[in-house]
Amino acid sequence: MSSIPTRFDVVVVGAGPAGSAAAYLLAKKGFSVLLVERGKGLGDKNMFGGKVYAQPIREVWPELDKEAPIHRWVTKERISMVDGEKVLTVEYRTEKKVSFVTYLTQLTQWMIKKAEGAGALLASEVTVEEILMRDNRVVGIRSGPDVIEADAVIDAEGVNRLLLERLGLVKKLDPDTVGLGVKEVLKVGEGNIESRFGLDKKEGLAWAIVGDITKGIPGGGFIYTNKDTVSMGLVLHLSKKLLDEGSFEGHVSSLIEGFRLHPYFKPYWKDAIISEYGGHLTITDAIKFAPSRFAYPGLLIAGDAAGLLLSLGYTFRGVDYAVYSGKLAADAVEYARNNGGVNYENLQVYDDYIRKSFMYEEIMRHRGAITLMNSFELMSKYPKLLTKVMEKMFEAEYKHEVIYNSLLQALKEEGISPFNLISQAFMMVKGI
Amino acid sequence: MSQSKGEEKPIKLEDILQSDVWDVDEDPHIIVDSEKCLECPTKPCIYLCPAGCYVKAGDRVIFSYEGCVECGTCRVICPMDAVKWNYPKSGKGILYRFA
């Protein structure tokens, strides 16, 4: 880093969606911006499930739909409940361009190039080791012997927020707040994607799967159709309960293999070749994960590092939340400049911006989903119950049970009282 | 790149990992205090590290950093606080292409 200046208006740590959006907007507003990224190639440390909501990103880049590397617009949403080889699937079709599938590596590449185009300076292959404090205020960053000073540092380091931990602003990652996402990218071929999933050109499918596909661990499975590959994998909620019990049936890769070889799902990737395998942590309890403040003297926290991810069980929003929080960070820095200077009192508006944003409101409004998705009991019981009702409705050699009796019998077999069903169903509908 | 077929039969994790690309650092970015592992009753890293970097050998845990996918799970789950975790330096480590 010796060849670059040692002082900037703003240093952004992490060239993911949050950092790139912040750097892009700040550079456009005329600030000198250094965007620091540990990866070598643009975007090559980014990993996610597969789906991106578009509208909040269009606020930063109105040209998104035309220019961004969008593989397919999601026109089909599927939800499946799995119990052994029994599967119940619900499908919804739309034509509205609400969300799309892509590789995050490609999308961030596009975002970083936008930031560079607007005048932000990118320093890649630089791992920030420390956020520097002086007189109770963040004044810059350090990587090895190199120090860069700034009026404001935007921390967009991601879910593994080592820097915030080192600063003492957040506690060490709590297993109750994160899940392990494991993903395989399977090369299926463009034509096969369209014929097997019933999609037209440029149409995509997002699929959420719950039930014993995770072998009793809270979480679920996902499938996304990219241009010519399928991203499929599992999210396993880590928790003190899971770790204390320590009763794992096998290595996590055997769980994803069980999913890949499941008789209902495997025809979708017949003859496919595995192109990539990866793992990443994801936020499962955004409220507990969030830092106590989003703005500190000289420091703004954005994206995953700020806990800004909505996990509803049937859909997930992380990339657009990251971009939008990057936008709010840039707005806050601009507000500070226009109101007497980039100092703490003025930067504090960022905390307000986040708390009043749709993201924070959504996370709070849907907090019932956190309880549900983390529940060992509910996550295994209800997929079992519903597939059992289906079994009683369809698997009859002579006589079909009336649906009401199917439900009563299934409830009895699963040990759920009708009262519990009603109250828990109400909680689910209300909380998610 | 691996030519592992994604259906029909089980594939070993080591073969699946052949599909990934790394620029391996000479210095490990994760240091494990293996003495602590001896005392660990559950050893969750054996099961939960998606890249299989932690292997059980009797009471011991053998760790290798080269195939790490940089998820950070071991850091979160280690009951003995035996994992010192850093990001690799100078752009080293896993290079995701389709993630």
Asked if A263 has any chain B CB less than 8 Å from its own CB, the reply is no
Alpha-carbon gap, residue A257 to A37, rounded angstroms = 33
Would you state the pLDDT for residue B1?
42
Check B90 against A160: CB less than 8 A apart. no
pLDDT at A24 over 70: yes
Residues of B in contact with A229 (CB under 8 A): 98
- List phi, psi (to 5°) of A200: -90, 175
Q: What gap in Å lies between CA A120 and CA A22, rounded to an integer?
A: 10
**Cα dihedral A162, A165, A167, A169 in deg (nearest 10):** 140
What CATH number does the domain located at B28-94 have?
3.30.70.20
Q: How far is B12 from chain A (nearest CA, A)?
A: 9
Please say whether the dihedral angle defined by the alpha carbons of residues A274, A276, A281 and A283, taken in this order, is positive or negative: negative
Residues of chain A contacting residue B37, judged by C-beta atoms under 8 Å apart: none
Contact criterion met (CB < 8 Å) for A243 and B42: yes
**ipTM of the predicted structure?**
0.94
A157/chain B closest Cα distance in angstroms: 11
Q: What integer pLDDT is reported at residue A333 of this predicted model?
A: 98
Instruction: Count CB-CB contacts under 10 A for residue A97.
Output: 15
Nearest-CA distance A204 → chain B (Å): 16
Q: What value does the mean pLDDT take over residues A397-412?
A: 89
DSSP states of A40-109 as a string? Answer: SSTTTT----SEEE-HHHHTT-TTHHHHS---EEEEEEEEEEEETTEEEEEEEE--S--EEE--HHHHHH
Q: Is A341 left (phi over 0), alpha (psi -120 to 50) or beta?
A: left
| Contacts with A253 from chain B: Cβ below 8 Å | 13, 16, 50, 52
Partner-chain contact B47 A248, CB within 8 Å: yes
Rounded Cα distance, B56 and B51, in Å = 14
Residue A238 · residue B73 · CB < 8 Å: yes
Say which DSSP state A145 is in: T
What is the pTM assigned to this prediction?
A: 0.96
Count other C-beta atoms under 10 Å from residue A293's C-beta: 16
Pairing of strands A7-13, A33-36: parallel
* Upper half-sphere CA count for residue A335 (Cβ side, 13 Å): 16
Residue A208 host element (H or E): strand A203-211
Number of A–B residue contacts, CB under 8 Å: 172
Q: Cα–Cα distance between A285 and A370 in angstroms, integer?
A: 6
A163 Rama sector, left if φ>0, alpha if ψ -120 to 50, beta otherwise: alpha
Find chain B residues with C-beta within 8 A of A244's C-beta.
Answer: 42
The DSSP H or E segment spanning A422 is helix A418-431
| Contact call for residues A309 and A286 (beta carbons, < 8 A) | yes
Longest dimension (CA), chain B: 41
Q: In the predicted model, is pLDDT for residue A71 greater than 60?
A: yes
The pLDDT of A128-155, averaged and rounded, is 96
The residue among A1, A40, A45, A107 with the most chain B CBs within 10 A of its CB, best to mutate, is A45
Q: Could you tell me the two tokens for A114?
A: 């936008």
> Does residue B86 come out as left (phi exceeding 0), alpha (psi in the -120 to 50 range) or beta?
beta
Scanning A270-299 for CB atoms below 8 A from B yields 270-281
| Nearest-Cα residue of chain A relative to residue B52 | A251
Chain B: nearest CA to A275, how far in angstroms? Answer: 5
Residue A296's closest CA among A153, A158, A166?
Answer: A153
Residue type, A356: K
Calculate mean pLDDT across residues A317-334: 98
Residues 6+ apart with CB under 8 A from B33: B80, B82, B83, B84
Binary contact (B98, A276; C-beta < 8 A): yes
Per residue in A175-211, pLDDT (tens digit) is: 999 999 999 999 999 999 999 999 999 999 999 999 9
Q: Closest approach of chain B CAs to the CA of A75, in angstroms?
A: 21
- Grouping H, G, I as helix, E, B as strand and the rest as coil, residue A218 is coil
**Is A273 close to B11, i.e. CB distance below 8 A?**
no
- Is 50 exceeded by the pLDDT of residue A416? yes
The residue among A357, A315, A339, A184 whose CA lies nearest residue A254 is: A184
Are B11 and A274 a contacting pair at CB < 8 A?
A: yes
Q: Amino acid identity, residue B11?
A: I
A2 — pLDDT class (breaks 50, 70, 90): low
Per-residue three-class SS string for A265-304: CHHHHCCCEEEEEEEEEEECCHHHHCCCCCEECCEEECHH
Q: Which chain B residues have a beta carbon less than 8 Å from that of A278?
A: 20, 50, 69, 71, 94, 96, 99
Is the pLDDT confidence value at A51 over 50?
A: yes
Q: Which of residues 18-77 of A touch B (CB under 8 A)?
A: 38-41, 43-48
Contact A40 B91 (CB under 8 A): yes
Q: How far apart are CA A303 and CA A294, in angstroms?
A: 10
Query: Is the pLDDT confidence value at A31 over 60?
Result: yes
Per the CB < 8 Å rule, is A274 touching B91? Answer: no
Instruction: Provide the terminal-to-terminal Cα distance of chain A, rounded to the nearest Å.
Output: 47
A374 CA: distance to closest CA in chain B (Å) = 16
**Mean residue pLDDT across chain A:** 94
- Tell me if A105 and B97 make a contact (CB, 8 A cut-off): yes
Tell which of B1, B23, B27, B47 to mutate to test the A interface (max A CBs under 10 Å): B47
Q: pLDDT (tens digit, 9 = 90+) per residue, A77-126?
A: 999 999 999 999 999 999 999 999 999 999 999 999 999 999 999 999 99
When scoring A187, A273, A276, A304 by the number of chain B Cβ atoms within 10 A, the one with the most, hence best to mutate, is A276
In eight-state DSSP terms, residue A134 is E
**CB-based contacts of B23, cutoff 8 Å, min separation 6:** A40, B91, B92, B93, B95
Return the pLDDT at A210: 94
- The alpha carbon torsion through A423, A428, A431, A432 (nearest 10 deg) reads -170
Cα(A18)–Cα(A156) distance, rounded to whole angstroms? Answer: 6
Strand-pair partners of A197: none
What's the 3-state SS for A18-35? HHHHHHHHHHHCCCCEEE
Query: Any idea what DSSP says for residue B5?
Result: B
A220-234, A318-332, A384-398, range with the lowest pLDDT? A384-398
Q: How far is A430 from chain B (nearest CA, A)?
A: 32
